[in-house]
Amino acid sequence: MHLNKQNTFQNDIIFVDGLWGTGKSILGPIISGMVGVEKIKAESLYEYISWLNYLGKIEKDAAVWMMRTYADSAQYHNRIGREVNLRWSDDTGLKHVINKWNYLKRLFGPEGDEIVNEINSGNFAFSVMSHMMMLSPNLLMPAYGNRVKVVEIVRHPLYVVNHFASYLERFESSREFTMSFYHRDVKIPWFLNGWEEEFVEANKFERAILSIIILYPWLDLQLIKARNSGLQILELSFEEMVFETNLAIQKLETFIGRKHSDHLNSILRRQKLPRETIAKGKGHASYGWVKTNISEAEFYKESLDIVLNNCSVKYINELQSLINWYNTKYPSKLSQFYSL
């Protein structure tokens, strides 16, 4: 039996994807602020299905069926107010909805086929925040075709080291849901298959750098392959989003094909954009982010010192090579700063 779902919705689907700590949470409300785009949802199912198919754990027809069905189901639930996120502090919560009253009124509105017709005729875009889905993007075109667009946000490797280290330090928590396996009784992220012995022997900062130096080239290669297959992708660096916000907004509007609402300025103020320094904005304190008023050069040096004081020469050199590559591909004001 070959699973299939042909009678899918016709609305746009927008994925905001990135590695851990790259800044997806500041981009989500900006995407949701575009005309006809639903409030962004943080959904792990899409990345899980993509990873499982990539690893040969689930058949392609089943994976595509689930991707199609779940996206349509989630958009339908969006439009009738089901599963409204009232948690105020969440990146995807009610706090970030532009017109809160109209959003809440859906709870008391109609349901049924007329909602599906409304979604299709109005092309109300479904927006999703995913993690690392573009490491295995092969299902997106078979599932959604030209309906789907991906905004991939990348970030300077040095500035994600602390986030990765803090995340991996609590990786054994039962509240941590990244796909994983065990080696010598140590929980290992799925993408480190083949490097598990090195991961087990490394300290938390070396584990972070090991992950980063594997993931960045992997992601870059998959983005090239996916774009060559016809997938619509916009690569946007966190540094451009922070330092050249107006240019980044123009790129987003052109790529997605939608304008922002009149609330754009208030959204940018809430996201602390643009910024003089990266650390003067928002971030996840639980993953090592600390708001500071020091200069960008000082913050960069502090980030360097963490690596220099905690890692062996092997990891320092490999991270430096990755930084050199990143500075060439995504130049920014960070490119001028010190080497390791």
Q: Which residues of 149-180 are buried (b: 16+ CB within 10 A; e: fewer)?
A: bbbbbbbbbbbbbbbbbbbbeeeeeeeeebee
Compute the distance between CA of residue 2 and CA of residue 128 in angstroms, rounded to an integer.
27
Whether 291 has a pLDDT exceeding 60, the answer reads: no
| pLDDT of 142 | 97
CB 290 within 8 A of CB 197: no
User: Which pLDDT tens digit goes with each residue over 132-182?
Assistant: 999 999 999 999 999 999 999 999 999 999 999 999 999 999 999 999 999
Q: Which of 42, 38, 43, 28 is nearest to 102 (CA)?
A: 38
User: Which pLDDT tens digit goes with each residue over 182-232?
Assistant: 999 999 999 999 999 999 999 999 999 999 999 999 999 999 999 999 999
| pLDDT of 279 | 81
| pLDDT of 285 | 46
Mean pLDDT score, 6-28: 96
Question: In the predicted model, what is the mean pLDDT of the chain?
Answer: 93
Mean pLDDT score, 296-317: 96
* Structure token digits, residue 288: 């090592």
Write the CB contacts of 245 (distance below 8 Å, at least 6 apart in sequence).
Answer: 268, 273, 274
Domain edges within the chain: 13-336
CB 274 within 8 A of CB 26: no
| pLDDT of 90 | 79
Please report which confidence band the pLDDT of residue 293 belongs to, taking 50, 70 and 90 as the band edges.
confident
User: Which of these ranges, 5-19, 63-77, 99-113, 225-239, has the smallest mean pLDDT?
Assistant: 99-113
pTM for the predicted model, two decimal places: 0.93
Say if residue 7 is exposed, middle or buried (CB neighbours under 10 Å; 0-12, 13-18, 19+): exposed
Mean pLDDT score, 3-31: 95
CB 163 within 8 A of CB 287: yes
Q: Where are the beta strands (DSSP E) in 116-190?
A: 126-131, 148-154, 180-183, 186-189
End-to-end CA distance of the chain: 56
Please report which confidence band the pLDDT of residue 287 belongs to, taking 50, 70 and 90 as the band edges.
very low
CB 254 within 8 A of CB 171: no
Position with higher pLDDT, 88 vs 144: 144
| pLDDT of 282 | 53
Write the CB contacts of 117 (distance below 8 Å, at least 6 apart in sequence).
Answer: none
Q: Say what angle helices 245-256 and 24-32 make with each other, to 10 degrees.
A: 60
Establish how many alpha carbons lie within 13 A of residue 312's alpha carbon, considering only the half-sphere containing its beta carbon. 9
Q: Domain 13-336's class? A: alpha beta
Say if residue 127 is exposed, middle or buried (CB neighbours under 10 Å; 0-12, 13-18, 19+): buried
User: Which pLDDT tens digit goes with each residue over 265-286?
Assistant: 999 998 999 999 998 765 554 4
